[in-house]
């Protein structure tokens, strides 16, 4: 058992060190039956699940997912779940799962979403996805979320920060319980017609970059660090844990294959 929020009275105890990264299982409900999330003894390998991004008002958006060499490029396209949808339809289902579900929040309404959902049964905590910000901006955002909720709060850092150690320290000082990194790298890919799709690159292609940043942050902070970015095999996960992470999060690998968490948890 691993506690991802040891200083938070609510705690966030996970049974395996493998987490489904934000959106890798969509709204979670769609794939619950494949993973057996409602069954107490299911062997899905997941210690926690982070939902797709939630905004005050949900949007269908136009997300894109393109194959790249040893990876995938994801364009968010403005897609998100809405607070009403989560409160009325999704969270009651999440509450019946035998694995904690956290809500991913991002953007200007992140604190408002956290405030709206903090007392909703079925939500074990929040994950704030930070864009590339300065240290003070990041601290302000985290502090705003902390004022809105006392539930465990993970902060996900992008891969293109000039000083991720300083940002991570500032986030923890502002009230974050744990740091997750990296949330992909900015990239683009051509479509069939030659036009470029801009998004974030994930998959094994970015694993070496992620490992380096995870090692740097884990060595500098006294809080749980979740290694993510290209984790797709037990060897990747072991390298992240050896570098100081206490858990790993799967994104594109889980989108591509629901069995990946089980394979990694079983292989550790």
Partner 1 sequence: MHPYYTATIRERRQIEGLVWLSLAALELARTAQPGQYALARPSRSLDPLLWPVIFLAGADPAKGLVELLIDPRQPATAWLVDLPVGIAIDLCAPLGTPFVPAPATQTLLLAGAGAALPALLFAARRHARRLSIALLLAGDEQYLPPPFFLPETVEVQTSSAGDTALFDLLAAHTPSSPIRWADQILFALPPNLLGDAAAAMRTARLRWERGLAQVVVAGPMPCGLGVCRACQIETRNGWQRRCIEGPVLDLRDIRLR
Binding site for partner 1 (CB under 8 A): 23-26, 30-31, 33-34, 36, 60-72, 74, 79, 203-204, 232-233, 252-253, 255-259
- Record the tokens describing residue 260, joined without a space: 């990946």
H or E, element range at 145: helix 135-148
Q: Give whichever of 27 and 177 is closer to partner 1, judged by the CB atom.
A: 27
- Least Å distance, CB 173 to partner 1, is 35
* Residue among 155 and 232 whose Cβ is closer to partner 1: 232
Partnered with residue 165 across adjacent β-strands are none
Nearer to partner 1, 66 or 166 (CB): 66
CA distance linking residue 244 with residue 116, whole number of Å: 34
Least distance (Å) from partner 1 to the CB of residue 259? Answer: 6
Min separation Cβ 169 and partner 1, Å? 33
Alpha carbons 268 and 263: distance in angstroms, whole number: 9
Minimum CB separation of residue 120 from partner 1 in Å reads: 22
Its sign, for the CA torsion 209, 222, 261, 98, is negative
Contact between residue 18 and residue 50 where contact means Cβ atoms under 8 Å apart? no
Q: Which is nearer to partner 1, 67 or 173 (CB)?
A: 67
Tokens standing for residue 26 = 């969509």
Q: Rounded to the nearest whole angstrom, what is the least distance from the CB of residue 14 to partner 1 in the complex?
A: 21
Judged by beta carbon, residue 39 or residue 136, the one nearer partner 1 is: 39
Enter the DSSP assignment of 158: P
The burial class, CB within 10 Å (0-12 / 13-18 / 19+), for 30 is exposed
């Amino acid at each position: 058992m691993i506690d991802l929020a040891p200083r938070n009275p609510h705690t966030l105890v996970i049974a395996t060190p493998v987490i489904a990264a934000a959106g890798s299982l969509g709204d979670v409900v769609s794939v619950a039956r494949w993973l057996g999330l409602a069954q107490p003894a299911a062997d899905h390998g997941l210690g926690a699940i982070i939902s797709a991004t939630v905004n005050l008002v949900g949007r269908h958006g136009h997300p894109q997912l393109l194959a790249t060499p040893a990876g995938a490029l994801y364009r968010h396209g403005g897609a998100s779940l809405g607070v009403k949808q989560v409160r009325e339809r999704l969270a009651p289902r999440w509450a019946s799962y035998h694995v904690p579900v956290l809500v991913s929040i991002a953007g200007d309404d992140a604190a408002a979403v956290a405030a709206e959902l903090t007392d909703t049964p079925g939500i074990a905590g929040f994950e704030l996805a930070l864009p590339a910000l300065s240290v003070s901006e990041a601290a302000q955002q985290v502090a705003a979320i902390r004022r809105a909720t006392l539930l465990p709060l993970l902060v996900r850092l992008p891969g293109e920060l000039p000083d991720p150690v300083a940002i991570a320290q500032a986030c923890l000082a502002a009230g974050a319980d744990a740091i997750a990194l990296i949330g992909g790298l900015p990239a683009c890919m051509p479509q069939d017609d030659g036009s470029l799709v801009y998004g974030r690159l994930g998959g094994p292609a970015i694993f070496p970059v992620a490992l380096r940043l995870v090692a740097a942050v884990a060595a500098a902070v006294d809080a749980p660090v979740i290694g993510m970015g290209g984790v797709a095999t037990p060897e990747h996960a072991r390298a992240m844990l050896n570098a100081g992470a206490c858990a790993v999060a799967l994104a594109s690998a889980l989108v591509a294959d629901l069995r990946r968490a089980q394979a990694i948890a079983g292989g550790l």
